[in-house]
Amino acid sequence: MKLLLEHAHVEGIRYYDAYRKNGGYRSVEKALKMTPEEIVEEVKASGLRGRGGAGFPTGLKWSFLAKPEGVPRHLVCNADESEPGTFKDRYLMEFIPHLLIEGLIVSSFALGSNMTYIYIRGEYAWIVDILEQAIEEAKANGWLGKNILGTGFDCEIYVQRGAGAYICGEETALLESLEGKRGNPRIKPPFPAVKGAWGRPTVVNNVETLAAVVPIINMGGEEYAKIGVGRSTGTKLISACGNINKPGVYEIDMTISVEEFIFSDEYCGGIPNGKRLKACIPGGSSVPIVPANLLLKTAKGETRYMNYESLSDGGFQTGTMMGSGGFIVMDEDQCVVRHTMTLAHFYNHESCGQCSPCREGTGWMYKILKNIESGKGKMSDIELLWDIQGKIEGNTICPLGDAAAWPVAAAIRHFRDEFEWHVNNPEESQKRNFGLAHYADPLPPVVEADA
Amino acid sequence: MSEQAQKFKVTIDNITVEVDPGTTILQAARKIGGDVTPPAMCYYSKLEGSGGKCRTCLVEVCKGSEKDPRPMPKLMASCRTGVMDGMEVKNITSPRVLEARKGVVEMLLINHPLDCPVCDQAGECHLQDLSYEHGTEGTRYEFDRRTFEKEDIGDYISLHMTRCILCYRCVYTANQIADGDREHGVLERGDKAEISTLLGKNLKNDFIGNVIDVCPVGALTDKTFRFKNRVWFTKPMNAHRDCDNPKCCGKVRLWMRGDEVFRVTARKDEWGEVEDWICNECRFEKKETKDWVIEGPANISRHSVISQGHYVNTKKQPVLIDKVIGKEPRMLLDIHKVSDVNKPNVHLSEIKGPAHSDDFENKDK
């Protein structure tokens, strides 16, 4: 089932004419005849959850927006997609930019935002041009600007480039950066819904979330909610990469199993060169890594599906998270220690340096992992890593501290043998990898898995 | 009396206090005082927007409020969390808080040079107090400590970036007090972040000297006092003068030895915060007793090393052992019991005028 990428391969869909011919901007025509409250209700009924990683219900977030008299409100689109492994928004903005613009117009109307911003990752320089062209085209055809469709609703969309910081994907850091300040996350409360950009009520949503508003309005919230399963409604873009035959962006309806997603020809197409699956990070680099046996089956022995609930089944002990949908597959040749070190380096590099546990702890973890990886590690280092990550997690201003701690914690939790092997075999570990070991073995009975 | 605003009841470590709505947990705890008060390295009540960064003041909120009794899942930064009516907070009675705080102190110290023996801040350093009270004995950090290239930011202030804990207090001071908006700030990010000035410019504002007073560590020190004396050998005296600068209060603390004025700082309250800002002229230029009207010895916390000369005006911290059930507050080491530096029988405040090394010798004989 495809809702967002249905027309992604139509020739010229990047431009207005082809997009309009394929049913584009229908939702704006429909939405502007509704009241803003009705749109919010539709989004609530759809059960749409934030696609940026946290999975917070969008309709609920919208209803939190404060509406004081005489104060302008803002909608900000978070296109600062910098999570390693996630590239779904890039695909969406590059190939069907008008879908985002359409979603933004509808959402701006629902929230009463006359000035809407797209904060885009600085490295996506060429997409800025694509978006600005799309905005120009929309404006020329009367979908943006003053008095849209004669309803008296004014809306302008501005594109703002970031300057290369992962932290600016955190909503309050994004707002600081948008205001022209250093991208340090703010201390919450106050939340952006009360005091956001320039002290005005602001909603920050991910690109995919805002694009998903278009099908919700077109088909109605209740129809949209019928797609998917449980509280994971609608479709989700998954950007698959790593050791798979067909990396790319896939739109799934969250009812397929993880096994089907990796091995079926419709999606990833299996693992190349006849290798076996070792581990996977299903939601972008900051979610916990899981070994093959826990990826395909939950600790209870049930099949794991590609949706919010099933992926997080078992909590962090045996489960993981849907996150932003950056699906990274690792085959038996990959080294988990090296991989964890790379991620630790990334978070060390991207920490904003505002609060102490994250600023000092991320660098410390990276240095220890570098030692273990290069054969200079000690057994006590593994315990130390575990202790440090526990002292970062939950004690920082923004979720970057958690995002830095989780991958390290999960790697030690599930792949401790590999870490120990690195410590015990410093010379051998420089020449070859630990291999698949027992990570794909059938799961032990539930009681043991819990222990 | 409808004019009287409603008061919120907050319980911190089983001690209940009534505060105005809008007060933060930290401020409520300061009202109780003693060990119940969480340490604060970055929060400064006189600087807008400060706080929340160092994470030493984390507390556990085990009851949100009377209306919504759910506990807060994460530890909260008490300096930036407002109180609610009926809120229950655990500080030193929560093992989770103590564990997290120990972690934060360790993190703050892994890249700190620990050059206290040559640091001018020693003796009045908040990081020293913090690590003494909440830190562990050794460190588990085995790597090279972070260092920075030295930067010259003017004739009066010395910036020693390796000691910095990035509390951002000086940035807020420069922006809010010294009118140096965005001249003094933070460059780079993560563990490479450093305090710097716009294009290495010297800081010239009349009130920029106050960044020395707000700095909790020895990162910003007074160049006119550098290496001249240890703070605990000098005697703090309150003094004032009629300052021409309309924004300057002219009320200062002189750090004297004999008739010599070694250093001038603003007056600080019991939480180490400046009471009123002073100008650069008062701080750096007026270093003679004739410039000042001396009022008398300043109040110094009994636990401070500076009070080793037995001041009569020292304040005793309230003892709360009976009230804090389950956890005996750990008091600071009483410096008077261990120090041989000065003679404990000499009462500095009884000596006429500022103390001099001769005074000690005379008394001995």
Question: Any chain A CB within 8 A of the CB of B75?
Answer: yes
pLDDT in tens, B317-358: 555 555 555 555 554 444 444 444 455 555 555 655 555 556
Partners of residue A349 in chain B, C-beta under 8 Å: 190
Secondary structure element (H or E) that encloses residue B60, with its range: strand B58-63
The whole-number pLDDT of residue A445 equals 58
Task: Band the pLDDT of A223: cuts 50, 70, 90.
Answer: very high
Task: Residue A376: list chain B partners with CB under 8 A.
Answer: none
Residue length of chain B = 365
B72 part of contact set with chain A, CB < 8 Å? no
- C-alpha A168/C-alpha B88 separation (Å) is 34
Inter-helix orientation angle A88-95/A97-111, to 10°:
100
Contact criterion met (CB below 8 Å) for B38 and B29: yes
pLDDT in tens, A326-362: 999 999 999 999 999 999 999 999 999 999 999 999 9
> Does residue B257 or residue A420 have the better pLDDT?
A420
Q: Report the candidate in A35, A44, A259 with the shortest Cα–Cα distance to residue A153.
A: A35
Query: And the tokens for A368?
Result: 């220890």
The interface predicted TM-score of the complex, written ipTM, equals: 0.87
d(CA A10, CA A90): 18
Report pLDDT for B136: 83
Instruction: Convert B100-137 to b/e letters by CB count within 10 Å (16 or more is b).
Output: bbebbbbbbbbbbeeeeeebbbbbbbbbbbbbebbbee
Residue B177 phi/psi, 5-degree rounding, is -100, -45
CA distance B191 to chain A (A): 5
Mutate: best of B53, B99, B131, partner A, most A CBs <10 A: B53
Measure the N-to-C terminal CA separation of chain B; round to a whole number of Å: 65
8 A C-beta contact, residue A353 and residue B190: yes
At B253-302, the pLDDT tens digits run 999 888 889 999 999 988 889 999 999 999 999 999 899 999 988 877 76
Among chain B residues, CA nearest to A367: B143
Return d(Cα B290, Cα B294) in angstroms, integer.
9
Containing H/E element for A317?
A: helix A315-318
Record the tokens describing residue B202, joined without a space. 């010297």
Interchain CB distance below 8 Å, A384 and B191: no
Say whether B56 sits in a helix, a strand or coil.
coil
Average pLDDT, chain B: 83
CA distances from B99 to A323, B15, B33, B59, B281 (A): 29, 22, 22, 11, 45
CB neighbourhood size of B342 (10 A): 16
Q: How far is A358 from chain B (nearest CA, A)?
A: 8
Domain boundary assignment for chain B: 10-105, 230-365
Q: Which residues contact B199 (CB under 8 A, 6 or more apart)?
A: none
CA distance to partner chain B, nearest, from residue A349 (Å): 6
Chain B residues near residue A364 by CB distance under 8 angstroms: 107, 110, 141, 143
Output DSSP code: residue A303: B
| pLDDT for residue A438 | 85
Distance CA B265, CA B282 (A): 9
Residue A130 has pLDDT above 90, yes or no: yes
Question: Which pLDDT does position B181 carry in this prediction?
Answer: 66
Integer Rg of chain A from CA: 22
Q: Which two tokens stand for residue A217?
A: 């309005």
CA distance A427 to chain B (A): 22
Query: Helices in B194-347 by DSSP H: which ranges?
Result: 210-214, 280, 335-338
Is B108 near chain A, with CB under 8 Å? Answer: yes
- CA A380 to chain centroid, in Å, comes to 34
* Chain A residue with minimum CA distance to B165: A356
Strands B8-12 and B87-90 turn out to be parallel
What is the Cβ-side half-sphere exposure of residue B113, based on CA atoms within 13 angstroms?
17
Residues of chain B with Cβ-Cβ distance to A355 below 8 Å are 52-55
Structural domains in chain A plus CATH codes: 16-226 (3.40.50.11540), 232-331 (3.10.20.600), 336-431 (1.20.1440.230)
A416: Cβ–Cβ under 8 A, 6 or more apart, which residues?
A382
Instruction: Give, in words, the CATH class of B10-105.
Output: alpha beta
Distance CA B105, CA B125 (A): 14
Helix, strand, coil share (%) of chain A residues, nearest 5: 45, 15, 40
Tell me whether B164 touches chain A (CB under 8 Å): no
Contact A391 B165 (CB under 8 A): no
Q: Do residues B349 and B312 touch, judged by C-beta distance below 8 A? A: yes
Of B104, B185, B189, Cβ closest to residue A351 = B189
Task: Please give the model's pTM, rounded to 2 decimal places.
Answer: 0.89
Low-confidence ranges of chain B (pLDDT < 50): 1-2, 331-341, 362-365
Contacts with A388 from chain B: Cβ below 8 Å? 103
CA B280 to chain centre: 20
Query: Tell me: the pLDDT tens digits for A37-78?
Result: 999 999 999 999 999 888 899 999 999 999 999 999 999 999
Report angle CA B19, B22, B28 to the nearest 5 degrees: 40
A361/B52 CB distance under 8 A: no
Distance CA A318, CA A337 (A): 19
The count of other CB atoms within 10 Å of the CB of residue A158 is 13
Tokens of A163: 């300057």
**Any CB–CB contact under 8 A between B185 and chain A?**
yes
Chain A residues inside the 8 Å CB shell of B186? 182, 353
> Residue B92 and residue B295: Cα distance in Å, rounded?
38
Length of chain A: 451
CB atoms within 10 A of CB A417: 13
Q: CA B362, CA B183: separation in Å to the nearest integer?
A: 52
Residue B364: its pLDDT value, please? Answer: 43
Q: CB distance B189–A384 less than 8 Å?
A: no
User: What residue type is assigned to position A322 of the chain?
Assistant: M
Question: Which of A353, A361, A396 comes nearest B189 by C-beta?
Answer: A353
The pair phi, psi for residue A434, each rounded to 5°, is: -65, -30
CB A422 within 8 Å of CB A338: no
